Amino acid sequence: MTATYAFHSLDVFTETRFGGNPLAVVLAADGLNTRQMQTIAREFNLSETVFVLPVTQPKADFKVRIFTPEVEMPFAGHPTVGTACLLAELGLAPQGDDVRFVLEENVGLVPVRVRRDAGRAPFGELTTAVLPERGPAPPSKAVLAAMLGLDAADIGDAAFVSCGYPYLLLPLRAPELLAGIALDLPTWREHLAQAWAHHLYVYAQGYEGEIRARMFAPGSGVFEDPATGSAAVALAGRLALDSAIADGLISAVIHQGLEMGRPSVLHIEADRVAGAVTAVRVGGHAVRVLTGTLHV
């Protein structure tokens, strides 16, 4: 017997359709099992697909499960931001110009906020369920340079960091170097595939105060991602952990996806109080592209 499910697709971290990072969201998905969800995510073949479910924790408003084409994710940024914007736009979440609610994810409870200004796509923001955590020592600069097809002199100090999902964060000397990356999969498999984090987030300081970034995740079936909120909060966490500010706000704007022809803009923030990181956030706009019916 065939069951039907409503779904929507959005472009996240953009206000322009066909930019940003595409996302599929399947509503009222409690009739689907894990195997079916993974199969549907593979069918959509986007970097992530979200399934909205009844909550299992009393403080949550919605439960979501997030899948890449290959694996289920405990947490991911653009699915969280995009789903929050969609639920608000459809009238399923609390209504208003500035609303807050909570998504239950495998990583824990993720507070979200959606702001809506007249004439603009909604702006969603998440606060991570997990504060930044440093991982072990990363591979050497020589190994990372070989992995990226760059010179060791172009590589800054890398670090493993997680705010719910771990990344290897790798700064470059100049933003122009991002376009020259040629990820070498054999080197990635040897040195990163089984490491503390196998996703690689490469970034550089731009010339107008922005950060430019690219993210590679071959281990999750996504060779390159045009906008990665979970990597952005890991970077926000690193910036906050390394900051000399005892009390205050650390913020930045990240531009990602330019090399893929899908420009994306991510706004990151972190709070420090008495020398400790107390909150990390990422936000951006999302625009609905497609509405349909899924037959299972």
Do the Cβ atoms of 98 and 104 come closer than 8 Å?
no
- Residue type at position 117: D
CA dihedral 226, 229, 234, 235 (to 10 degrees): 60
Taking the model in full, what pTM does it have? 0.96
Are 170 and 234 in a shared domain?
yes
Q: Report the CATH number that the domain containing residue 20 is assigned in CATH.
A: 3.10.310.10
Residue-level pLDDT, tens digit, the chain, 296 residues: 799 999 999 999 999 999 999 999 999 999 999 999 999 999 999 999 999 999 999 999 999 999 999 999 999 999 999 999 999 999 999 999 999 999 999 999 999 999 999 889 999 999 999 999 999 999 999 999 999 999 999 999 999 999 999 999 999 999 999 999 999 999 999 999 999 999 999 999 999 999 999 999 999 989 999 999 999 999 999 999 999 999 999 999 999 999 999 999 999 999 999 999 999 999 999 999 999 999 99
Are 210 and 195 in a shared domain?
yes
Are 143 and 274 in a shared domain?
yes
Domain that residue 291 falls in: 4-127+284-295
Structural domain total, the chain: 2
Could you list the active site residues?
Answer: 48
Residue 277 region, left (φ>0) first, then alpha (ψ -120 to 50), else beta?
beta
Centroid of chain to Cα 14: 13
Are 138 and 202 in a shared domain?
yes
- How far is residue 51's CA from residue 79's CA, in Å, rounded to a whole number? 10
- How far is residue 285's CA from residue 288's CA, in Å, rounded to a whole number? 10
Are 101 and 149 in a shared domain?
no
Are 154 and 249 in a shared domain?
yes
Q: Across 21-61, where does the E strand assignment appear?
A: 21-26, 49-53
